[in-house]
Structure 1
Amino acid sequence: MVEDKQFERLEDSAMKLTVRIDPGGVDKAYYELLEKYLKEAQIPGFRKGKIPRNVLVRKMGEELKEEVTGKLLDAALREALENEDANPISKPLLEKMSKLELGRPFTFSVTFDVFPDIDMAEYRGIEVEKLRAEISQKDVARELENIRMQNSIVMDKEDGIAARGSVVTTNYVELDYEGRALEQSRRKGFVFTLGKGHPYGLDDQIEGMRVGDMRVLEGSRDAVSVEVSVVAVKVREFPKLDDELARDISEELNSLDDLKKKLREDLEHRAELKIRVRKINKITDKLLEGTRIILPHSMIENDLKHTWQDYVLQSGVTEEVLIEALKNANQSKEGILNKWRKDAIKSIKTRLIYGRLAENEKIVVSDKEVDAELARRGKQQGLDTEEMEKRFGGKQFRDYLRSELLQEQLFDFLLRNSIEKRSQTIEYAELMGE
């Protein structure tokens, strides 16, 4: 049927395909459909299957040609793309076609997006910093304070007077210049730690107030007046830093020194993970910079479409309600998508690069490795492998684990083949952005 086909590369990883169907193919498709209609069509005055050919052609000639055209387009497109590398990743769009005439060739052209070419950058020998995190006594002390905070008890303050460090519950409302309450600003049951920063900067003025007190205070924000009433004043009672606290935290710890040692090990592990992420980000940026990929529009739009669907789902409202809320905030769906576009392009290119890298280096994750990861996570959750898989989504969860393990193997490969230079020591707090 397909007498000739021509592929033409277009911009942005698009392809134009022009197909010519031979006259025999056109006639065959037309007469096969005509015979079908002769058997099945019903026209008043004729019995089914007894309609003269010339009558059917006169009555349904144009409808026949339209249907034949559609069938020829579908069949010829499948035939033209068979065993070709240029497989569409978007719905082919009809650009032009000739008029269908019996005894003459039929030609048409379609355009579609194809998987982009990936001109990979060199991924071996990328330079990364050789970082070492310095864990200080101050870092360990901060972790100890966090543990004390997590294990503290909040109880009513006996004298009911707000003091630095007290956990204070307040009601408040802004007042206008005539002393009238601005109801849209009213807040009930606002809890904060005195000295850590009230939204209106009222810590100093609230200090010394008692439960039941109500005052008009001058806020630091836009010089507004705020009516504040103290509902409750509590104190946080912290446990002592001793061996008993360590044993309460874990049966594996016998003393405070054991706890400090474990905390240091935890900090070192977090630092290693953070350094690993920094190196991977550096390598990925280099690969993105050096790899040439021209993304098709459909690939970008599909990614944005899925991101938007997730955004709507997370909002907890319908798409219509969300769009209206954006409109009220002087925003729009189009504006949001445009903000996401740059990140979407980066994300797609990164996935394509990783995919090509895995293909080049034959990096795969076996079922055995997925099973082992399932068993490891199941042990953490107190579940056997089968129950773990079932509870978290079955095959979909296995696919997720396979993807995650593949990514880690890719990262391991890139790090093994990178070059560490410019050794540097960095404080833990700075590394973690604290």
Structure 2
Amino acid sequence: MPVRSLLPSLALILLLAGCGPDPGEVETCRRAIGAFEPDMDRVFVGPPKSDPSDPDGVVVGYRTAAGEARWIACRFSSRRVENAPLELARVATSHDGEVTGLRLFFLKRWLALERGAPAVAPPAVAPPAAAPPMVEPRAPALLYPLQQAVNGAVLGCIYALLAVGFSLVYGIIGRINFAFGELMMLGAYQTVIAAVVFMGLGGAGWGILPLVLLAAVALTAGQGWSIERLVFRPLRRTPTQIPLIAAIGTSIALQEAVRLLQGSRDRWLAPVLTGRLTLAGADGFSVTISVGQVLVMALTVACSGGLWWMLRRTRFGRDNRACSDDMAMAELLGVDTDRTVGATFALGAACAGSAGFIVALQYGGVNAYMGTLLGFKALAAAIVGGIGSVPGAFLGGLLIAALETGWAAWFPMAYKDIAVFAALIAVLVVRPTGLLGVERTRGD
């Protein structure tokens, strides 16, 4: 056969090879459905489509066992390395909205563990004959930001509780305890361990959550008090930056101790409270919130109310404010400054333990190094709100979470950390004391 007669066939083959989504992207996106649909064997997966808004994305429509039409959109990094696994950049679903932050991180880890599993099996049941067509991923103008606000609320609670710990300690001794991120990590580990212990004793479901929370918070509070007693109290009157260096050393020591005791692998907590409530919906897009997210928000509100009452209506709160204003004068007037500072460290560590409980409950996976970046972002939140101010810490935590979630939803996710710390620099330049902080002279 002449070569010229083969050219049209070759051109047609090359043209067809370039059409349609990448098979590797389709397989990865199909596997990701299993993270959102527990009854995967009864899910009918439809034909994939290229994402019209992103050349490196794919959209897969599917039907649940109940016949509900849903979709998942996966976007991948445009930077590819030959023979390397595809790197997920963004994931969104019609049911859960944008998957951001730690949820995306753990989803990618889950996909890495599942990479060796067989591909998605054919549907166990055929779709209903009269079922409507798959719904294209289209979110109304107001519903998508609302879903992002719901998704960012849990992250805001984590940052707010950690920022409160930073502010409490800085407010009373004028030093930053860099180990609060690691105290949060300890709280998350102790949540997982306590859940395993209580479930081994026969507990299950809602009943063990208060006990798990109490155990995690109590243990973390004790660890915070121990850090003050062993590290900060001997160095409290040191005029140099030695306490800051000691705090960094404590942070690294806690990381390595947990790594050696628990190993470098992630520890996972079985998902609980996964039921979802629909807040609003239109054109195939639903704004939903999980029962776990509702519990997290309620816990944060309860912690903030209890903290306000303790600092404003109790003797400890009065002693705390006196030590924050003038430690030496408070001691002359009979305040037990050592006990007050130790109790403040324990209270801040309890807030960090609550944040660790939220991380373990909401995201499921914990590891020895999870507290580093979260701790720095919480410190940024405390500084933005006004370090030393408890209301400012809550405000800063919510603002930093809103910035991070919003950036990940509308801009390249790779730059969200840059955006957070750039906002910190901007606030320090414009208002060095933070949004709610006030400049004051401390008496030693």
Task: Give TM-score scaled by structure 2 length.
Answer: 0.19
Higher relative contact order (CA 8 A, sep 6+): 2
Task: Give TM-score scaled by structure 1 length.
Answer: 0.20
Q: Which has a greater percent of helix?
A: 2
Larger Rg, first or second structure (1 or 2): 1
Q: Which has a greater percent of strand?
A: 1
